Structure 1
Amino acid sequence: MIETTPSPPLMTAFDALVRPHRRALHLHCYRMVGSFAEADDLVQETLLRAWNARDAFDASGGEAGMRRWLYRIATNACLDHLRSSSRQAASARSFAEIPWLQPYPDVLLEEEAVTRESIALGYLAVIQRLPPRQRAAFVLCELLDGSAAETASLLETSVAAVNSSLQRARATLSRHEPPARGDTVSADERALLEAFISAHQSGDCKASIALLTRDVRVTMPPLPACFEGVDQVLPLMERANAMGEWRLVPAWANRMPAAMSYLRRPGDPAFRAFKLDVLHVRDGRIHEITTFEPRLKAAFGLPEVLA
């Protein structure tokens, strides 16, 4: 008799094989598509494809073979997704022009050896400029330390094609890549975040402005909004203060200082999640604030309402 429903022991054994790779696969998908939520979906799609193709897997390769197999499936799932979405970021000047870009919680990076440079929002925004297959070659070789031969095998192309893709990708990054910084959050950045939180909560616009560079930018993906310079940002802060009372909670994202902001409007007894600010620091001051919707609060381990 043909078994149409897999047995629980078989599913348990399969889960035990793929579970150690889930977090790394999620990060890989995130780098490919720039969206945390889409990476969630793509990991599920990857595991479904892997399950359906399990009989074709060659177990003789051991753990390394499993990793290569899963990355091949995940990369192809991402490429299929990017082809179907037909979105373009080649001419994007800022995060505001990449509306699908989302932050990545540092709490999910703790078990991964991930440098700040390779996960920073500015770096990911540049990667989104690359055509899909060029992006895949770059991520696999540069960020996952794969060889050109391994990447060519995974992408089912030639080594020459991979090297050509890498050359073009590196040229794009050399033109647009933001300045490199240290791999860990510094004490100065932690102090800057504390000062940002204090000024925001107290409604002290003067103290907030003192933390910013004169050419500061505030972007709000997915909205096509970009506020440049202190003269544009100050009225934005004043409008925020008029909305109600604020409470902020540190929430590190993409190896960068960030804060989840909770707003209590007049007449509302509760502080409700309103936005996530990710701070880009330059020379000891905040050079850019990328403001996201609070929909990923659960991934950051934060509540909808502050007690």
Structure 2
Amino acid sequence: MTDAGPPDADEAAFAEAVRAGDPAQFALVTERHRRELQVHCYRMLANYEDAQDLTQETFLRAWRKRESFKGHAAPRTWLYRIATNACLDFLDKRNDRTPVPSELPAAELPYLQPYPDRMLPEDPQESAVARETIELAFIVAVQHLPPRQRAVLVLRDVLGWPAAKAADALELTVASVTSALQRARVTMREQLPDRRLDWRSPATHELSQVERDVVKSYIDAHERNDLDRLTSLLRDDLRFAMLPDPGTVITTAKDSVDGWVSGGLFQPGCDDWRCIATTVNRMPAAALYLRTPGDPAYRLLNLAVLHIAGGKIAELTGFEVAGKPWLGLPAAL
């Protein structure tokens, strides 16, 4: 399968690095693809640290297989093919990464991790669709698919590859790819009933003013220990999860806050908060810092990732994020 269009400067530099057999030169020309390949691996695996590892594995495999690059496909396509198959090999070996049963929700993915926006690709074309294909709901929905259906969906519907190109990358027939895509789309519609399912047309990735205002109010309620204000920000059919603990709770706003209080939050010794507004997965989020008695500093505790609908928090996914420097959050304030 040959990519359409004449070779560009990137392809020429890549071909020269392959011919030269110089690892430093090869690393230089492949490095420019790191961010988009890492997002690709994350969509396949739902785990930032695994995506980092598999991106590095992609570059190692590319170096070992460099002589197989004949210029019939663009370097970017060739690298995506290697990355996809590296992820499939990883999934084949991990018994704990089997597809999530259709009836189980997001919090049944204890390995789910947030993706720092600062590490997303800078390419405007990728950014145009990044929000709807990087949000937690999408990432979780993809994990309900068997690995090869997952790969087909991402290559065809997210990257926009034609069926023949995806079939070549996965060593499948076009008919198999078409069938897998149809089944994958059915599952995605079941998992994302209220979300847009056409990811090929542009979509904004900026937060709305409403989202910014809700995050600001959420932070203010924490720092003031204003439980009434916090309750008013939550929808009465809130979906709450605290990873890696299993189980999504669908609960009322009052029951949610009462449950947090009964668990010790907002009680003496656990009521001195400072928060930072941030974004992960192109979603609004708040990093929560707690100062305990006798400690002069506020320590990073959790990250609350918010899905906001109709001016209220419809989904709140909490992550334990202490010791995860790749998020770019200070460990203490």
Query: How high is the TM-score relative to the length of structure 1?
Result: 0.91
Q: Secondary structure at the match of 2:32?
A: helix
| Residue in 1 that maps onto 2:3 | none
Deviation of the 1:201 alpha carbon:
1.1
Task: Tell me which of 48, 71, 75 is aligned to 1:36.
Answer: 48
Identical aligned pairs, as a percentage? 43
The answer on whether the counterparts of 2:110 and 2:243 sit within 8 Å (CA) in structure 1 is yes
1:205-246 per-residue CA deviation (whole Å, 9 max, x = no partner) reads 100011111111210121114332224311234231122411
Matched, 1:18 2:30: yes
Name stretches of at least 5 consecutive residues in structure 2 with no aligned partner.
1-19, 197-202
CA distance in 2: counterparts of 1:90 and 1:83, whole angstroms: 17
Aligned partner of 2:316 in structure 1 is 289
Q: 1:215-226 alignment to 2 at 5 Å? A: 215-226=237-248
1:65 aligns with 2:79: no
Is the aligned partner of 1:246 residue 2:273? yes
CA RMSD of aligned residues (A): 1.8
- The aligned amino acid for 1:222 is P
Measured at CA, do residues 110 and 240 of structure 1 come closer, stay the same or move farther in structure 2, by a change above 3 Å? farther
**Matching residue's letter, 2:163:** A
| Cα distance in 2 between the residues matched to 1:233 and 1:204 | 14
Question: 107-116 or 196-205: which moved more?
Answer: 107-116
Q: Which moved more, 1:98-107 or 1:230-239?
A: 230-239
Displacement after TM superposition at 1:90 (Å): 2.3
Tell me, yes or no, if structure 1 residue 196 matches structure 2 residue 218: yes
Partner of 1:51: 63
1:177 maps to what in 2?
192
The answer as to 2:216 corresponding to 1:207 is: no
Q: Contact 1:122/1:177 (CA < 8 Å) preserved in 2?
A: yes
CA deviation string 1:179-213 (max 9, x = no partner): 33763310110011100010011111100011111
Distance in 2 between the 1:202 and 1:10 partners?
58
Question: Is the 2:232–2:253 contact (alpha carbons within 8 Å) kept by the matching residues of 1?
Answer: no
Alpha-carbon shift at residue 150 of structure 1 (Å) = 0.3
Contact in 2 for aligned 1:95/1:221 (Cα 8 Å): no
Distance of 1:138 and 1:192 partners within structure 2: 33
* Structure 1 range deviating more: 237-246 or 261-270: 237-246
Q: Which residue number corresponds to residue 110 of structure 2?
A: 99
Cα displacement (A) at 1:123: 1.2
Partner in structure 1 of residue 256 of structure 2: 233
After superposition, the Cα gap between the structure-2 partners of 1:230 and 1:103, relative to the gap in structure 1 and judged at 3 Å, is: same
Q: Comparing 266-275 with 237-246, which one deviates more in the overlay?
A: 237-246
**Corresponding residue for residue 299 of structure 2:** 272
Query: CA 1:249–1:275 in structure 2 vs 1: closer, same or farther (change >3 Å)?
Result: same
TM-score, length-scaled by structure 2: 0.84
How big is the shift at 1:299? 2.5
Asked if 1:27 corresponds to 2:39, the answer is: yes
TM-superposed CA distance for 1:295, in Å, is: 4.4
Is 137-146 or 242-251 further displaced after alignment? 242-251
Residue 134 of structure 2: which of 119, 129, 137 is its match?
119
What letter corresponds to residue 90 of structure 1 in structure 2? P
Equivalence for 1:83: 92
What secondary structure sits across from 2:281 in the alignment? coil
The letter for the 2-side match of 1:100 is Y
Give the number of aligned pairs: 296
Instruction: Supply the distance in 1 between the matched residues of 2:243 and 2:219 (Cα, whole angstroms).
Output: 21
Taking the aligned partners of 1:229 and 1:84, their CA distance within structure 2 comes to: 40
Could you say if the C-alpha distance between residues 92 and 36 of structure 1 is closer, same or farther in structure 2, counting changes exceeding 3 Å?
farther
Give the Cα–Cα distance (whole angstroms) in 2 for the partners of residues 149 and 90 of structure 1: 30
